[in-house]
Amino acid sequence: MKLSIKLFILIGGFSLLVAVVYGFLTRFDELVGFPALLAVGAMSFMLAVYLWLVNRNTGGVLPEDKLDGEIVESAGEYGHFSPWSWWPLLLGTGCALAFTALAMGWWILGLAAPLAVLGLVGLIFEYSRGDHAH
């Protein structure tokens, strides 16, 4: 995790430096590249701070940080997934249609929103009823 923190600090500093140089070269008239580079730098610093706080609070050394770390050391439970569930497909289709609406036409958003909401509600309440209710 320490390497990741250093990497994000390096990326953030580089992005901010490039943003300043880019801004001066374009006389701050170009309003896409300069704010985008500033945003990349800010988000890199935010990730570095988050990883630093997590590292400070957990105090543990990750297998990636050890020279003799093995891949099997990072094994463990990653969560619970439903292999039989169709709700993620419905939610993904709704989200794909929503992004298609940005490119093709806003009327598609009227089709995408109910589909995405139905998929999200189904995914959230999947284990609230039926055979697998908790």
Q: Is residue 76 part of a domain?
A: no
pLDDT at 134: 65
Q: How many domains are contained in the chain? A: 2
Tokens 């988000």 correspond to: 43
Looking at the chain, list the stretches that DSSP marks H as alpha helix, in order from N- to C-terminal side.
2-25, 33-58, 87-104, 108-124
- Which residue range(s) make up the domain with 21? 1-61
86-109 mean pLDDT? 94
Q: Is residue 78 part of a domain?
A: no
Measure the CA–CA gap between 32 and 46, rounded to whole angstroms: 21
* 1/57 same-domain check: yes
pLDDT band at 99 (very low <50, low <70, confident <90, very high): very high
pLDDT at 33: 92
Of 12, 17, 15, nearest in space to 49 by CA: 12
* 96/47 same-domain check: no
- Is the C-alpha dihedral spanning 120, 121, 122, 126 positive or negative? positive
* 52/91 same-domain check: no
